[in-house]
Structure 1
Amino acid sequence: MLISTFQQEFVEAGCDEAGRGCLAGPVFAAAVVFPPDYCNALLNDSKQLSEKKRMALRPIIESEALDFAVASVSAEEIDSINILNASYLAMHRALDMLKTKAAYIIVDGNRFKAYQDIPHQCIIKGDGKYLSIAAASILAKTYRDEYMDNLALDFPSYDWLSNKGYPTVSHRKAVLEFGITPHHRKTFRISDPQLKLF
């Protein structure tokens, strides 16, 4: 069962990112603050939910959260600072956008770059344990998917409507056949193991 908060006495923000393992497109991140003792039996890690369920939950999260924000870091920025630092930057940007100053931050995963002077806790598989992180994973994923769907209209050869920029076989074949677009992360070279087709 997912629970509401890690530290009940704090105004707590849950953070997660989406798109870290992609060949193309930005990395997105979200920060979500729920009321104390918030409950929602449908919330779960975005990877465990269908696209339809994620999209149904998004307006519920946005209306029931005390505060939320979604931010991104471009492919160009990712190439400049690397994907790990870009993931931290996306989460920091989301936290910057919150109207409610968090006193505590919980983050999915095992690493995070400290944000201002606010204490934080990294939680492995936190998107399956804490509601605010699960909600952040859903917002980051749905906003990023929409962004990639819009890009796909101008770059149909790369199948971004289906793969959202992840290194599927069809995407990797398209890179080898058509080359990269301005939205590809150039630090993923053709010789990169992620681009091996067989």
Structure 2
Amino acid sequence: MPYEPPTHAVERSLRATTGAKTVAGVDEVGRGAWAGPVTVCAAVTGLRRAPEGLTDSKLLTVKRRTALAVELEKWVTSYALGHASPEEIDALGMTAALRLAAVRALEALPVRPDAVILDGKHDYLGSPWRVRTVIKGDQSCVAVAAASVIAKVQRDKMMAELGVDHADFGFAANAGYPSPVHKAALAERGPTPYHRLTWAYLDALPQWRHFKKVRSWADGSGPEIEGQLGFDF
């Protein structure tokens, strides 16, 4: 399907209106998975012409995405990854875990960004970062699209490695997301050390429900939507 290639329009706007010299694009992967970390990539691209075919990682085939990630890792000015573990997700909730992973990525960059383009409509970073949220930024902004591809490929690789000792769960194919193979392995074997134990999928598995953890919502905000995602077993 034809698509409009991403541009530097938002980055140019931030440079013009805020004086930002270094602008990072930020995107995440793994938010809706049942297992594995949530991973955030921060990428700085400058205003150079993007590699051919760059777009949101979800719009690319595995083969093209993997090849493009190799190209991007050499092409970007800099990039860094940040992760929040399943234990941190369970303890903090997804929003706080996303912020933790994003801050880890941003602080790992060789130069601290003056501004951040964040994919989506919600600013989960907040102060002291100067943030511009962009809905579908992974399709429209070069730096965010680059971050999207790198984050996806790197997390998929990580999940494949984690899955070596848990082959029945199919992590190499599903990256910890819901799938028939994943569902069947959970029902038979229960959660691995890489599973998020506050997620509602355990409610449908009475034989493994004793693994379920209940987060303490000290701020009174109640459970987050992501943590309530279940699956009809």
Q: Which residue is 1:114 aligned to?
A: 125
- The offset of 1:108, in angstroms, is 0.7
- The offset of 1:39, in angstroms, is 2.7
**Residue of structure 2 aligned with 1:99, choices 93, 100, 110:** 110
**Residue of structure 1 aligned with 2:67, choices 53, 56, 68:** 56
The question of 1:42 aligning with 2:53 is answered yes
Q: Work out which structure has the larger RCO, using CA pairs closer than 8 Å and 6 or more positions apart in sequence.
A: 1
Greater alpha carbon shift after TM alignment, 9-18 vs 33-42: 33-42
**Residue of structure 2 aligned with 1:137, choices 139, 144, 148:** 148
Deviations 1:43-92 (A, max 9, x none): 10000001111111112211111111011111111100012221221111
Q: Which has the larger radius of gyration?
A: 2
The question of 1:177 aligning with 2:188 is answered yes
**Residue of structure 2 aligned with 1:18, choices 14, 23, 29:** 29
Q: Which residue is 1:194 aligned to?
A: 230
Given the superposition, is the C-alpha separation of residues 105 and 71 from structure 1 closer, same or farther in structure 2, using an over 3 Å criterion?
same
Q: Tell me if structure 2 keeps the 8 A contact 1:4–1:34.
A: no
| Partner SS, residue 194 of structure 1 | coil
Identical residues among aligned pairs (%): 34
- The offset of 1:115, in angstroms, is 5.0
Deviations 1:108-130 (A, max 9, x none): 11112335523111111110111
Residue type of the alignment partner of 2:199: F
Residue type of the alignment partner of 2:7: I
Unaligned runs of 5+ in 2: 205-228
Q: Tell me if structure 1 keeps the 8 A contact 2:98–2:124.
A: no
**Residue of structure 1 aligned with 2:166, choices 123, 134, 155:** 155
C-alpha RMSD of matched pairs (Å): 1.5
Q: Tell me if structure 2 keeps the 8 A contact 1:14–1:133.
A: yes
Greater alpha carbon shift after TM alignment, 73-82 vs 5-14: 5-14
CA distance in 2, matches of 1:18, 1:36: 25
CA distance in 2, matches of 1:142, 1:20: 15
Tell me the matched-pair count: 197
Q: Tell me if structure 1 keeps the 8 A contact 2:95–2:124.
A: no
| Partner SS, residue 7 of structure 1 | helix
- The offset of 1:154, in angstroms, is 0.2
Q: Which residue is 1:84 aligned to?
A: 95
Q: Tell me if structure 1 keeps the 8 A contact 2:24–2:113.
A: yes
The question of 1:7 aligning with 2:11 is answered yes
- The offset of 1:37, in angstroms, is 4.1
Given the superposition, is the C-alpha separation of residues 36 and 89 from structure 1 closer, same or farther in structure 2, using an over 3 Å criterion?
same
Greater alpha carbon shift after TM alignment, 112-121 vs 176-185: 112-121
CA distance in 2, matches of 1:117, 1:81: 20
CA distance in 2, matches of 1:38, 1:118: 26
| Partner SS, residue 27 of structure 2 | strand
CA distance in 2, matches of 1:106, 1:128: 12
